[in-house]
Each structure stands twice: as structure tokens, then as C-alpha cells.
Chains A and B, each alone.
Chain A
Amino acid sequence: MTESTLLTLSVAILLLPLLGFTILIFFSKRLPRQGDWLETGFLFVALAISFVILFTKLTSYHDHVVQATFGWVDFGNVPGFGPMRLDLGIMVDNVAAIMLVVVCIVSGLVHLFSIGYMHGDVRYGRYFAYLGIFTFSMVGIVITNNFFMMYVFWELVGLSSYLLIGHWFERKSASDAAKKAFIVNRVGDIGMFTGIMILFAAFHTFTFDTIFESIKSGNIPLGSEAWLTAAGILIFCGAIGKSAQFPLHVWLPDAMEGPTPVSALIHAATMVAAGVYLVTRTFAMMTADALMFIAYIGAITAFISATIAIAQNDIKKVLAYSTVSQLGYMVMGLGVGAYTAGFFHLTTHAMFKAGLFLGSGSVIHAMHHALHHANDHHTDPQDIRNMGGLKSKMPITFYTFLMYTLAISGVPLTSGFLSKDEILAGTLAYGSLTGHTIIPIVGFLVAGLTAFYMFRLVILTFFGGHKDPHRLEAVHESPKTMTIPLIVFAVLSFFAFYSFNPIGASSGWFYGAVERPESVVPAATAAAGIQEFEEALHHSHTPAMILSILIAASGILLAFVVYYWNKISADAVAGALKPVHQFLLNKWYFDELYQATAVRGTDALAAAYRWFDNNIIDGFVNGTARWTLGVTQGTKDAWEEGNIGAIFYMVVAGAVSLYAGWLTTMQLMPLDATLASMVINGLIGLGVAGLAFFLFYVGVGGFDNKIVDGLVNFVAYLAGFLGIVTRRIQTGKVQTYLAFVLLGVMVFFLWFR
């Protein structure tokens, strides 16, 4: 297969879901079954193509990046630069080829699952259309070769996420969550955009390769290594938003308002992993400082969300925080330099976490039907405290769910064990190389917490007795369209798909295909090189593995002790540690904090500005109008009383004062004026004019008070001219205005000639 065929096929994967979206958004109502088969069919075709691409890539072009560019905007002959053109393009390297398969598998199976899960939904056709536009955007992120398209598709997945979270927009909580997701992501995105601006200002291109090569040749942005680090961190801000890293993680748990298959696809497996993908794409340009920042953000995120997950009772919320935590893990992995491990964890996690969400969807679906059957509309079908004992009624769901849980807990023989182990080894290596030992400590701690809260979830959901035994009778296993995806994901959670060696991934095809790129940053700012890191990794591998198995085992054991054998009462512990429990239950009060600061602050500022606009600025404008009317009225009165002398005096006084002010300004003005000197001198001149007018008024004082009754204000007098015009036009005499314009022209002619 030629390179261009490969690229054409990847474009086909990009466009198929878009075609599905376009057809469904306009015609889904007229299609049989609202077109679900069409969109799902497209996705499976895309899946088949993605396998072809991966196979071809790994066999024919293993160490070669296939890419093509096209001209998009021509800036022409840019002054001071020469011809400049913006090229965009696509590329398929091994990472992209793997990611394509991941996206297509998860998306295809989620489509299939949705046929059962979303059956009878009010906006069934539109739901599938949205899945289509999501897949399109996600594939776009995967195959782009430049920052610009990355940002474009980055925002477009944000849009599809917004649309799908808000699928049931009748519920306020859903539309709130959708809005929150979009806005919080935008906060991260402006960071990313600023990073891109730094790179563009320096290199005048968006293409990854060109930028990296420029940096490699010593051409760093704006001539400063600090800017390079800043660019790295700012671009990573995009990942903080999209991959729900601390401190922007708050949107992801709320995003669970969307349909559960959406949570599996977008908010667990693919879109949220885009941030991790972005870091792999830009890894080569990250300085040591930027990577350290990334590692710490990942570690903090992993820890915070793991602790929150322990205290949650909503099945999807537990999984949501678990997702945040695992994303933190991946980010941490990349940050410490375990590039392959981070991306590997993305892949394995995509499978078992998508499975976990679909499994929870199956459970919720069954609970929902059982509750519906019992005419119970008050019990929350997602609260694990209302569950229990589902094992016997939903065997497929249970066993697959167990498989995923083993994988996420890092039990040997699973894919999760392989990838997690590599990350932990990487953190140990990083700790020994840099002395940041807190990173591996957090890594292992989170591994234990993960095993604990995941088994807590499994035990409370599937083991023991059901809260209401009658209800259990109405619980049924889900239909085949839902169980088949579960089985596929469970199978894909075995180690064998990634490496034939169950205790080490490094010998497998995945590690062969995904190699850490050479850093391009100046040596002084680079993190530990590949050689050095591999060396340290070699020493840390075995201890990491032993330690991680021990920790996972104790986490699982603790979960059984507390929730299965009830040797320790969870309630008693929660009661004894009430403040801690409340703190965790309320998610460290992040939402409250943001509500009180960012949201309230913005609202208050907006209200303040509105007030300022209506009262100060417009107050000034309207005030001018009022003074004007006052002066005009005074003039008119004087006119009617025949007090021409007073008017004449005012006019002369005004003109002389103005002229005095003007002269002062001009005397003071330096020839090489600047705006600041203009303003200052102008103000001085205005002051002189005002003073002069005041002296006229006070010093002579011989004219009728009535005329300027309380209106000594100089500005007011100036405005008088306009006032007359106003009144005339208001009475419809527009020709007055024209006459004034003509008069103005003549005056200016005389003045300037």
C-alpha cells in the first residue's frame, strides 16, 4: 500500500462519521430507525479501515511517519518577512495509527451499545448524529500534523461534548453541566492558544515537525528558554482542561449528566484522553521544567480524585473520579518521562474504562427498568447504596465488570497491570533521577486507593443482598447489543493483546511501535535523556512490580474486609472521621470555591460594569444633553426678553476663554508630540479655559443670572450649540442641520486656509 493510499484511508475515517452526521442531522426523521444503522455501519467500516491502517503502518512503514500537507491560507508577500503560507496537513505515525484503532473500537462499540441503551429516546436520531460529529472531531485530533488543526478539532470535540452532555437538555442539571464543560475547557484552551501563539510568533508555522526542527537547530521562541518552557506549559493547559486535570477537573464529574454510553466514549476513553495525546505529540519540545510541572499536575490530580472517589455513592460519579485519577496517572507518566507507558496506559485504560462505563450503563438500564416496573420514581437508579446482589441476575455484566475492575486495579494478567506497572516504574526512576520522591509515593498510594474504591464499587453493586429483594426479581440482563460490547472490552482487557509477556510490556509490539521521541530542547533545559532514563528504569522495574502487586492486593483486601465481610463498619469510620468524610464527599469543595470566586466574581464584575455603563458613561452623555437643554433654554429666555447684551457677553466670554485655553495648549506643546503630552497639555488648556470663563463670570458678574442660572459649567456652554441643533431636528427641521454643516464647512475653510 502506498503512503498516499494510507493517508486517503485515514481521511476516509475522518469523513465517514461526518457524512453520517450530515445525513442524520437533516434526514434522521425520514430514515428507518432514525438512521442508527447508518451511523453505526459507517463506524464499523471506519473500524475496519483503522485496522488496515495500523497493520500497514506497523508492517510497511514501521519507523516512518507518513504525512501530507496542503496550502490553506496564503499570506502573500509579508512585509519584512517575504512570502508566507500556512500549510495544514495530516500525518499517520505509530501513535496516531494506534489511537485511530482505539477511537474506532470504542466509538463503534459505543454506537452498538447505544442502539439498545438509547432505545426509544426522544432525540434518538440526533443522538447518533452527535456521536458522528464527535468521532469526526476526535479522529481529526489524532491525524493532524499541526497545532492549528489540533486546536480546531480540540474545540470541535468540545462542541460535541457540549451537545451530548446536554442531550437531555430539558433537565437543568444537564444543560448546566454542558455549559460548565464547555466554559471550563475554554479556560484551558486559551492557555493552549497562547502557547500556540508563542510558537507561531517564533516560527511562523503550525506544523509539529517544522517547529521541532527549528527548536532543535537552536532557534528557541523569542530567544529565551523561559518562553520555551512557558509554551510547553501553556499548551499543556489545553490538556489540563480537556483531560480534566487539577485545577480544571471540576467539569468531568458533572459531565456524567450525559447518556452513559457518551460517558464511556467521550468522558472516559477518548476525548478526555486527547489531553494525554496532546502531551505525547508535543513531548519532544517539553523542557525539564515543563515536564516537572506536568508530572506534578498529574500526581496532584490522581491523588485528589482518588480520594474523592472513595466517598461517592453514585456509580457514575465513582467512575468519573476514577477516570480523572487515571488520566492524572497518564499525565504523570508522561511528565516523568515514561512516554510509552503513559500512552500505553491511555490505550489500555480506554478499553477497560469504556467497559466500566458501559457496564454501569447496563446496571443503570436494568435498575431503571426494575424501578419503572415497581412504579418507583423516587429511588435513584444510579446510587450504589440502592443496589447489591446484581451478580446473579446480570452475570455477563458482572463478570465483564469484574474483569475491568481487576484491570484498573492492576492485577497481574490484565492489561492495566502492564501499563500501570510501567508508569510506576517510571515514577520510581524519575524519583531516583531528580529527587522528586513525592511523585512515586503518590503513584503507589493512588494505586492502592484505586484498588480499594473499585472493589468497594463492585462489592456494593453486585455482591451481597439487594436493598429491596422484590426489586431484584425485576432486574434483567441487558440485550445483546449491550452485552456484546461489554464482552469485547473485557477480552481486550487481557494482557495478551499488548504483550505476550504477562509481567513486562516492553517486549510487546506496542513498546516496539511507540518509542519515546528525542527531546529537541537545548540540552541544558532538557529532562533526563532516553539512555539515562532507561538505565534508571531498568533498576526500578522489579521493585515497582512487586510493590504494586502488594499494594493492589491490600487495597482489594481492605475493600472486602470493609464491604463484604463487614469486619470494619464503613459508617463508623465515616462517623469517626466526619470532617474528612464530608470533605471528600463534597469533592474537596472545589465547586463551591469556584462558585464563590470565579463565577460570583465574574457576575459581580459584570453587574458593576453594567451599572458603570448605565450611570457613569451614559450619565455623562445624558448629563451633557441636560446641560445643553438648560443653556439653550436660558439663551432662548434671554432672547425672548431681548437681553441680547447678555447673550453677546456670554458668546464673547466663551470664545475668549476658549482661545486662551487653545493658546496655552499650543504654547506648551512640544513639536515632537506624543499622545501622552497631547492629553496632558490638552487638559491644562482646558483648565485654563475653564478658569478664564469663571473669571469672566465672577469678575464682571454684570450679566443676568437667569441666563446661566447655575450653569457656569464650561462644557455646558460648548454643548449649547449642539442643543439648538437638537431641538430643531426634534421638531423636524432637519434642514437646520444641513445649514449648520454648511456653516461648519465655511468656518473651517476660513480657519484653515
Chain B
Amino acid sequence: MELHVLGVGVLTWLTFLPIIGMVAVLVLPKNNPAAVKWTAAVATFLQLVLAAILFVMFNKSMAGINDAASMQFVERFKWIDIQSQSWFGRIQIEYFMGIDGLSGPMVLLTALISFIAVFASWNIEKALKGYMAMLLLLDTGMMGVFVSLDFFLFYVFWEVMLLPMYFLIGVWGGPRREYAAIKFFLYTLLGSVLMLLAMIALYFSVAITDPATGEKIHTFNMLAMMNPANFEPGSLLYGFGTYWRYLAYIALFIGFAIKVPIFPFHTWLPDAHVEAPTAISVILAGVLLKMGTYGLLRVSYPMFPEIATATAWYLALLAFINIVYGALCAMAQKDFKKLIAYSSISHMGIVLLGMAALNTQGMLGAVFQMFNHGTITAMLFLIVGVIYDRAHTRDLDAFGGLALTMPKYTGIMTVAFFAALGLPGLSGFISEAFAFLGAFQVDKLRIITIASTLGIVLTAAYMLWTLQRVFLGQPNEKWAKLPDINPVETFTLVPLAVIVLVLGIYPSFMLDMMTTSLNHLVDFVSRGGAAVAMIP
């Protein structure tokens, strides 16, 4: 499957449209905020349209993962090719993009959330041009991560995303923005360094034959790194289950775990969320967190299948901690936004649990949960944003009775809250249920799965308690005159609510896109895991 627009591949368009938008934003006059906003809106809208076209054209029977032939919308060029040098050999880096059933949903999610984030930024006044430029740059970084199939390219986009995020929190954030931004930055940097380490180790262990010259060359091609036959004997990561491979896996894992975030690397998240402006929280929770789990599935699992299999129990344990610890921490919060931030930690735990299962239901649940969490948590942060814009406080105990003064807002909030607590009929339930069903089928994970169901009760408890404190009861006179949600806010929330509802009733719209690829991933990883079992 290929698609070109004006002679340029669709994934390139998808990735760099925001950059074009950014350039346009930067040349616009400063005194015309409307033009800046609409330029950003148009750029992200076009991106969304392209993503929708991809969704329609996507071939659901092609697996992808480690097979270049069944990757879709592939674009592949030599990007950097440095001829052989005495001390590092030949460096070849490809501009290699493509999507499959694992990245497809993430591409859709990124386009959707970015588009919504632009409208969620409608009230930004401080240095609007800079803000929108950063937002669009961030968009490119995120999209690039999901479409890259070359590790180096992946890493570049991964880092590209870091800087705008740092500035968006550090400049447009709340009172403690500098602390939050630097914490986010350093944490992620630590992860990046570890990832870099593993990436380069992989680079030097993997060699493929250059079809043109017949010369053995190292490569950053991710698909090549997934094939055990490409590891050169005697190289650092050659073999199965060696400590070097464990080390590389752990380095990658920490790099991705920080992004998810997995306990105990999670404390940057509540701070970043609390200080970030609404739209940035939406992107952070909606897309950025998924990069961690995406990286685990795209990189760690297929490249180190035997270790992924061997450490599944530990991952499930971390999933349990994320779910229950996150939920309990959320329960103890007094700040609305912080509560939602901790709930993200809890919900990402469900993704991890599904991943640890390493079977079809678990994996489908995990990736679907990534998408659903993206939409649902985006709604929750938008909802917090609405109230913060009006009342300039997020203290949960300061409100009450908003259901009486802001009925439309309350209606849409109810959908989001119940989606977050996993009410059937809304999308979050399906992914949660599948993740649990998957994990329960694995003998070793059964106890952890049962223990994790505790999270279902705890989530209901803190969500409903929050709902009660903010929306029910006698109205607080101080907020009696708060206006109900305006058309722009409605515009950001309603599409998400519709998606949550539709996918809750008929999830196959999304699941069908993922099934073939994820079955293949499960098969591939479990075979790799089985291979090591055969080694005496």
C-alpha cells in the first residue's frame, strides 16, 4: 500500500505538515492572533484528514511488525551514508517510514489529539506565535516517532519532541513551571541516554548485507534488528538471554518506562501535568505517555523476545503497582489535575498488564487501551481546563453543585468520568476487560491479575468521589455565575465523547486494524521466547 500526495509520501506529509504550519505561523504578523490560531488549526486539520485517509485505506490483513513487505505506506531512502572510516566502519542511516497495526492507531490518535489541542489552546494569549510554533513542532516529533522504522530516525524524533515540550511547560505553565519543566526534561533525558546506549549497542551488533555491494554493513533498520540471524557472532548482543542483552533491555526499558511512566519513575508526571497548560496536558497524557508503551512493543519486545518473555512476570508486577498505587495516590489528591494525572498512571498500568500477557487478548487490550486512554484522559484534562479557566483554582473541595450551574458541562463530564472508570458501553471498558482477560489466561500472571482487579473498585471510588465533590451537592455561591461550556470547548470535547461511545459499542472499528499485526507480534515474540528455552 502506497500513497503519494504531490509526489511526496503520505507519511512524510503527515509528519511534516505541522512543520510547514510552524513556518507559516512564524512568518505571520504578531498582532494577528486569529491568523496564527487558524493556521495551526488548518495544519493539524489537514494532518487529521490525511490520518483519516490512511485509516480508510489501511489494509487490515497485513501484519507488518518485523516484515518490511507487509508494512504499509512505506517510504524508504538512504538518508545518511558515510563511507567506511577506519574507526567506526560504514554508517548508514535510512529515512525509513511505514505503519502497521501497532502504529496505525497511534498515528490516528496523534493527529486527533493534536487537532484538539490547537482548539484547547484558543485562550492562550502569552506569546501565542511561539506557543503555536512549539505545539506544531511537538506534533511533528510525536508523529515521527510513530511512523519511523529506522531506530536513528526514531531517536531523532524522540528528541525533537523533548525540546518543545520543555518550553511549553517551562514558559506557558503554572507557578512552579520551571521546576516541573526541568524535572520532565532531566527525567526524559536520562531515559534518552539509556535508550541511546542500547541503540548504539544494537547498531554494532546487527549487520546486514548491502545488496548493492555485498558488503556487510551495520544498520539502524529496526526490522533488521528484530531478526536474530542478523546479529553478528561475537558481537555484544549476539545470542539469547545473555547479560549483555539483559543490560541493553533494561536500559531500553528504563528509557521507555520513564515515558509511560512506570513506578518508580513516575513522579515527573504529576508535576508536569499540574504546571502544564491544558492543551499540553492533553498532549502529554493523550500521546506522549503512549510512546513509552509503543517503544516497548516496537523496540524491546521484538528485538529482545526472550527477555520480554522471561521478564513478563516482573512487568505484570509493575503493572499491578501502577494500577493500584496510582489509584490510591489519585484518591489522596486535593488538586483536580493532579488526581487526573495519577489516574493516568493507574490506567497506563492496564496497558502494561495486557502487554505482560503476551497473548492476543492482552495485546489487543493493551494497544486499544493506549488509544482509549488517549481519548478519555484528553477529555478529563480538557474538563479540568474548563473549570480552571473559569475559577482559577483546581482545589477539589472548593467546588460543589456545578451540576446545577453548568448542566452541559456536567453531562459531558459524566461521559468522561464513567469512561475513565471503565463503564461498559464506553471504550475504556473494552480495552480494560481485554487486558484483564488476556493476563488471566497466563498461569503465572493469574494472581497478579486478580489482585489488579482491585483497581477497578478504587478507580470507581475516586472518580465518583471527585464527581460528588465538584459537581453534586449544594452549589457554592462563589461559583454560581460560572458560564457553561462555550462552543470552542464543546467542539473539543464532543468528538472525543462520540469516539469513546462508538468504540465502546463496536470496538471492531479500531480492533480490526490492530488484530493481524498484534497476532503476528505475539506469535513472533513468543517464538523468540521459546527459542531461548531450547538452549540448554
Contact = CB atoms under 8 A, between A and B. Distances in A.
Most chain A CB inside 10 Å of its own CB: which residue of B89, B333, B423 = B423
Given A609-B329, A678-B250, A753-B204, A730 B182 contact: yes
B197 A748 contact: yes
Interface residues of B, number: 89
B329 A606 contact: yes
Contacts of B360: 75-76, 78-79, 81, 84
- Which applies to chain B's interface (DSSP): helix, strand, loop or mixed? helix
A84 B196 CA distance: 40
Interface stretch (A113-121, A528-536, A721-729): A721-729
Contacts of B28: none
Interface stretch (B69-77, B477-485, B518-526): B518-526
Given A169-B403, A197-B437, A678-B246, A186 B456 contact: yes
A193 B460 CA distance: 15
Contacts of B247: 678
A117 to B, nearest CB: 22
A753 B201 CA distance: 8
Nearest to B514: A76
A375 interface: no
A637 interface: no
Interchain residue pairs A-B with the least CB separation, the first 5:
A152-B424, A610-B332, A79-B523, A606-B332, A673-B243
A450 to B, nearest CB: 33
A179 B196 contact: no
B457 A183 contact: yes
B196 A748 contact: yes
B468 A725 contact: no
A175 B468 contact: yes
Contacts of B185: 729
A595 to B, nearest CB: 14
B517 to A, nearest CB: 10
Given A169-B473, A669-B243, A749-B88, A152 B456 contact: no
A741 B196 CA distance: 9
A485 interface: no
B12 to A, nearest CB: 24
A722 B449 CA distance: 38
Interface string B310-345: 110010000000000100110111000000000000
A620 to B, nearest CB: 8
B130 interface: no
Given A609-B329, A753-B204, A183 B193 contact: no
B529 to A, nearest CB: 12
B193 A744 contact: yes
Given A170-B401, A197-B437, A670-B243, 5 more contacts: A603-B331, A737-B189, A744-B193, A748-B197, A753-B87
A73 B331 contact: no
B264 interface: yes
Interface in B456-470: 456-458, 460-461, 464-465, 468
Interface stretch (B108-116, B382-390, B505-513): B505-513
Interface in B235-249: 236, 241-243, 245-247
A602 B196 contact: no
Interface in B174-197: 178, 182-183, 185-187, 189-190, 192-193, 196-197
21 contacts: A74-B511, A74-B512, A76-B360, A76-B516, A156-B424, A159-B418, A169-B473, A186-B460, A194-B450, A602-B458, A603-B331, A606-B332, A609-B329, A610-B329, A625-B186, A673-B246, A675-B310, A729-B185, A741-B196, A744-B193, A753-B88
B178 to A, nearest CB: 8
B401 A678 contact: no
A197 B362 CA distance: 12
Interface residues of A, number: 77
Interface string A588-611: 000000000000001101110110
B182 to A, nearest CB: 6
A77 interface: yes
Interface string A43-63: 000000000000000000000
A212 B477 CA distance: 58
B460 A748 contact: no
Interface of B: 87-89, 159, 163, 166, 178, 182-183, 185-187, 189-190, 192-193, 196-197, 200-201, 203-204, 236, 241-243, 245-247, 250, 264, 266-268, 310-311, 314, 325, 328-329, 331-333, 359-361, 364, 401, 403-404, 411, 418, 423-425, 429, 433, 436-437, 440-441, 449-450, 453-454, 456-458, 460-461, 464-465, 468, 471-474, 506-508, 511-512, 515-516, 519, 522-523, 526, 535
Interface string A419-434: 0000000000000000
A562 interface: no
A79 B523 CA distance: 5
B329 A613 contact: yes
Nearest to B469: A175
A413 B183 CA distance: 77
Contacts of B204: 752-753
A750 interface: yes
Contacts of B333: 610
A74 B515 contact: yes
A75 B364 contact: yes
A166 interface: yes
A159 B519 contact: no
A752 B200 contact: yes
B191 to A, nearest CB: 12
A744 B196 contact: yes
Contacts of A666: 243
A327 B123 CA distance: 55
B453 A193 contact: yes
A405 to B, nearest CB: 36
B243 A671 contact: yes
A3 interface: no
A201 interface: yes
A752 B460 contact: no
A618 interface: yes
Interface in A221-255: none
Nearest to B240: A672
B183 A621 contact: yes
A78 B357 CA distance: 14
B242 A673 contact: yes
A5 interface: no
Nearest to A76: B515
Nearest to A169: B472
A722 B88 contact: no
A567 B532 CA distance: 85
Nearest to A669: B243
A683 interface: no
Given A183-B457, A186-B460, A745-B200, A75 B246 contact: no
A444 interface: no
Contact of B464 (A183, A197, A618): A183
A203 to B, nearest CB: 11
A750 B87 contact: yes
Nearest to B439: A197
A730 B177 CA distance: 12
Interface in A170-189: 170, 172, 175-176, 178-179, 182-183, 186-187, 189
A186 B203 CA distance: 50
Given A76-B516, A197-B449, A618-B267, A602 B461 contact: yes
A617 interface: yes
A556 to B, nearest CB: 43
Nearest to A191: B453
Contacts of B250: 678
Nearest to A158: B423
Contacts of B429: 152, 155
A752 B472 contact: no
B89 A79 contact: no
A176 B423 CA distance: 19
A151 interface: yes
Given A156-B425, A673-B242, A752-B236, A193 B511 contact: no
B453 A166 contact: no
